Amino acid sequence: MGISNKTRAQMGESSLIRRMFEEAAALAAEHGPENVFDLSLGNPILEPPPEFKTELMRIVEDETPGTHRYMPNGGLPDTRAAVAESLAKETGLPFTGADVIMTCGAGGALNVTFKALLDPGDEVIVIAPYFVEYPYFIDNQGGKAVIARSEGDFQPDIDSIRDAMSERTRAVLINSPNNPTGVIYSEETLEAVVGVIREAEDRFGTEIFLISDEPYRKLIFTDEPYPFVFEHHLRTVVVTSHSKDLGLAGERIGYIAVNPGYGERGDFIDAVTFANRTLGFMNAPALMQRLVARLQNVSVDVDVYRRKKEFIYDALIGMGYECVEPQGAFYLFPRSPLEDDREFVALLQSKLVLTVPGVGFGWPGFFRLSFSVEDRVLEGALPGFEAALREARG
């Protein structure tokens, strides 16, 4: 009683992670928190860079009237211009502040983008394994997530995207570096994805957006430049945040950047600005906008994540786990040694190591661990990984 049937059903489906929270707390109470190795959460462990505090103190001292008032729904002009300048440097494309809309994180940016694009029943193609919230965000705005698959190396399966296309397809959503796999989509992959978008646009006489969710874009471990989507397709939108690269996940600050080469972007920008307001965000937090305007050229120390990745990846491979090596983000997505990933995650849990079954990401037979934890947690988890693998193999 009280809450809607739809929300109740969705809460039931997504209870996996909630249950893990509860079980982690119960295990910590029983065995002592130092003996429980929780690798289930994707919470950025690195503190914001030192420039964050310097700028914060400066802004707090600023007594200019109006500093904390409502503002244009797309964000502060200076912040939008600063983000555009940084994007122009990264991509070589002529971004201006008008192409950037400040949002409450990438999560807010995705909801706003879907509201701008979707009529009831419109479809968004999501590539499994995927970030658990995507289908909910799409459903929030009346759309329907249509799931395509990845190949064995976790690059998208292009045929599967082609098969998922219909006259209702409004967008293809990609995420690179990927949560949960850590894989970066190559230039060839992006070209192939755009190829099937063009085919479908021709076949159905529609316009399809490519939405690229990039909150891990600056957490990459390779020396190759990050493959941007903008040059591949006109109707391209990047949604991202500073949750991970500046360690500001709790502060809810991100942005949408629209391809400056897309001539008709004005309508889309007006629509996301409207959606920012009417979804109740109004605008992204003012204080954080002022801050990130001055922090576009700094980030957390990615080498710390790289070292953690190398430690846990090498250790698990050495034990005999199978896993695609992540090129970015802070997750590993190994194959489950038992066919049933929930069963294996339960086995790991019996060794006080907490991970998330792949089924939660639409990809059973695998499990996700986050290496965004203290080194002692990674080190402490190794005996549990070893014992669980031994038991799984009988």
Ligand X SMILES: Cc1ncc(COP(=O)(O)O)c(C=O)c1O
- Rounded Cα distance between 189 and 325, Å, is 18
Nearer to ligand X, 40 or 337 (CB): 40
346-to-132, 358, 369 alpha-carbon distances in Å: 20, 13, 14
Q: Give min distance, CB of 114 to ligand X, in A.
A: 13
Q: Which two tokens stand for residue 188?
A: 């060839």
Q: Report how far apart, in Å, the C-alpha atoms of 388 and of each of 83, 160, 356 are.
A: 46, 34, 15
262: CB partners within 8 A, 6+ apart = 234, 235, 236, 268
Binding site for ligand X (CB under 6 A): 42, 105-107, 131, 175, 179, 213, 215, 241, 243, 249, 254
Nearer to ligand X, 20 or 352 (CB): 20
SS3 at position 228: coil
Nearer to ligand X, 74 or 254 (CB): 254
How far apart (Å, rounded) are the C-alpha atoms in residues 113 and 45? 28
d(CA 392, CA 394): 5
Please identify, using beta-carbon distances, which residue of 99 and 213 lies nearer to ligand X: 213
Amino acid at 22: E
Q: In the complex, what is the shortest distance from the CB of residue 123 to ligand X, in angstroms, rounded to a whole number?
A: 19
CA torsion angle for 84, 88, 91, 95 (degrees, to 10)? 60
Cβ contact 48:300 at 8 Å: yes
CB of 105 to ligand X, least distance (A): 3
Contacts of residue 368, defined as CB under 8 A and 6 or more positions apart, other chains included, come to: 180, 331, 332, 333, 355, 356, 358, 360, 361
Q: What 3-state DSSP class applies to 186? A: coil
Query: Taking the complex as a whole, how short is the minimal distance between the CB of residue 179 and ligand X, in angstroms?
Result: 4
- Residue 173 or 389 with smaller CB distance to ligand X: 173
Cβ-based nearer residue to ligand X, 97 or 107:
107
CB of 217 to ligand X, least distance (A): 11
Pick 106 or 356: Cβ nearer ligand X: 106
Shortest spacing between CB 109 and ligand X, in angstroms: 7
Please, which residue, 154 or 352, has the CB nearer to ligand X? 154
Give whichever of 106 and 338 is closer to ligand X, judged by the CB atom. Answer: 106
> Nearest approach, Cβ of 238 to ligand X (angstroms)?
12
Q: How far is the CB of 182 from ligand X (least distance, A)?
A: 11
Distance of closest approach, residue 137 Cβ to ligand X, in angstroms: 9
Q: Are strands 144-148 and 37-38 parallel, antiparallel or unpaired?
A: unpaired
For the CA atoms of 358, 364, 367, 368, the dihedral, rounded to the nearest 10 degrees, stands at: -30
Closest CB to ligand X among 135 and 254? 254
**Could you give the 3-state DSSP secondary structure of residue 356?**
strand
**How far apart, in Å, are the Cα atoms of 342 and each of 289, 330, 364?**
41, 21, 8
CA distances from 195 to 91, 92, 214, 229, 236 (A): 21, 23, 21, 13, 14
Strands 353-354 and 367-370: unpaired
Tell me how far, at minimum, the Cβ of 193 lies from ligand X, in Å.
17
Residue 272: name the closest of 36, 155, 384, 109 by CA: 109
Least Å from the CB of residue 134 to ligand X: 8
- For ligand X, the closer of residues 106 and 377 by Cβ is 106
